[in-house]
Structure 1
């Protein structure tokens, strides 16, 4: 009995370290690779934000600005928050949150739908135990819908701030699917900006990671959402 009690914390610690190493960052910037990339003229990415109870519009806008200010300057890509609407957290689990999000189609002014959610009582209990937790996720089917947990209540967020979580998920919303592959991410951002420019579109393209294709319009995204609502595969981050 004593041996089992001692082994459990070690197992939990190992699991926590693995989860945190996989989820804290997209990776370090590859300055040499980035210096050789022409990201093209400035573009913007329009976000429609959904905010949980206890999160103010001002706090939400400031968080988005803080999360992307430095990154946006590197890529010539600004984030424009075009709307902020109340959205009480609909579920405890990642899948429950994303299933609810996928029922929100892209409106004419939105390129992405992003929810900033608060804490559930289950999160607090989970965090006190010190288990790994999912602090954000993005839908793989369109890469247009995602969320981030932005209220601190766990050991995990001592190491990963709400700003870092939001920044991480923005990269996934841009179509950067692989962690620690910043060179590939630079290419993805460049290609998406170029496609938007070449098409003369007001929509920033999205990536269907299931079918490995670019979605070049809101209609294409919404059609894909109709196909997968309630059954879309998602990535945990």
Structure 2
């Protein structure tokens, strides 16, 4: 499965965004998995930052602590192998894994820093969202390497992957993303959408209006 990795989403335009009617307020319930060492306080701070961005679209994300656990594997691929097997249970609109920081991560940070300084190749991936349904993803929530300080932060990574969870792809300018958010909010109000579920939509326009539809696509 192709993943939407964390890179630049696009440049914002306040005037274009202000011209779009995003409709009434809506909430998205995020079933959040905390890796050992990631606290609920840290999680709430990340979500507060994310909600500052989403307030521009009359949206709010609600973190629901799903479970606390050791990392299912070192790589992002191992994390996704675990996430793919999880259903969107009643009360969950999205699933987000908050990755912590281990001794192995610190060693890898030094390795990737050496590669970057040597040949200019940036190997770190700070987060990703699945490309089939845009319903689950992960971010590095306690990753404080030299490269991350230079390029990103846990807060900005969460905001970025949050746009993917709203169905936005990668684009230079954000106008298409604004329209996508308008579409998904309209979809959430349609009768065909499962009650209590905030639907998902892909950049190509494929809609998932029930949790069972998401599960079918992931299998």
Alignment TM-score > 0.5, same fold? yes
Does the CA-based 8 Å contact 1:196-1:202 persist in structure 2? no
| Equivalent residue number for residue 219 of structure 1 | 212
CA separation of 1:208 and 1:79: change in aligned 2, threshold 3 A: same
Structure 1 residue ranges without an equivalent (≥5): 1-21, 228-237
Q: Distance in 2 between matches of 1:181 and 1:105?
A: 33
| Pair 1:138-2:120 in alignment | no
Q: Does the 8 Å contact 2:8/2:170 carry over to 1?
A: no
Structure 2 CA distance, aligned partners of 1:64 and 1:84?
15
Partner of 2:201: 207
* TM-score normalised according to structure 2 size: 0.85
In our comparison, the structure showing a higher alpha carbon Rg is 1
SS of structure 2 residue aligned to 1:38: coil
> Following TM superposition, by how much is the alpha carbon of 1:155 offset from its aligned partner in structure 2, in angstroms?
1.9
**Residue 161 of structure 1, CA deviation:** 1.1
Whole-Å separation in 2 of the counterparts to 1:35 and 1:185:
13
Check the 8 A contact 2:26/2:58 in 1, yes or no.
yes
Counting only pairs closer than 5 Å after superposition, residues 137-176 of structure 1 correspond to structure 2 as 137-159=128-150, 160-176=152-168
TM-score, length-scaled by structure 1? 0.79
List runs of 5+ in structure 2 lacking aligned partners: 117-121
Q: 2:72 aligns with which of 90, 94, 97?
A: 90
- Name which of structure 1's ranges 192-201 and 33-42 shifts more when overlaid on structure 2: 192-201
Q: Structure 2 matches for 1:64-143, cutoff 5 A? A: 64-66=47-49, 68-129=50-111, 130=113, 131=116, 132=122, 133-143=124-134
Report if aligned partners of 1:124, 1:153 keep a CA contact under 8 Å in 2: no
Structure 1 residue 88: deviation in Å?
1.6
- Does structure 1 retain, via aligned residues, the 8 Å contact 2:51–2:59? no
CA shift at 1:120, angstroms? 4.1
| Higher normalized helix content (fraction of residues) | 1
Moved over 4 A (4+): none
Root-mean-square deviation over aligned CA pairs: 1.9
| Shift in Å, 1:70 | 2.1
Higher relative contact order (CA 8 A, sep 6+): 2
Report the 3-state secondary structure (helix = DSSP H, G, I; strand = E; otherwise coil) of the residue aligned with 1:108: coil
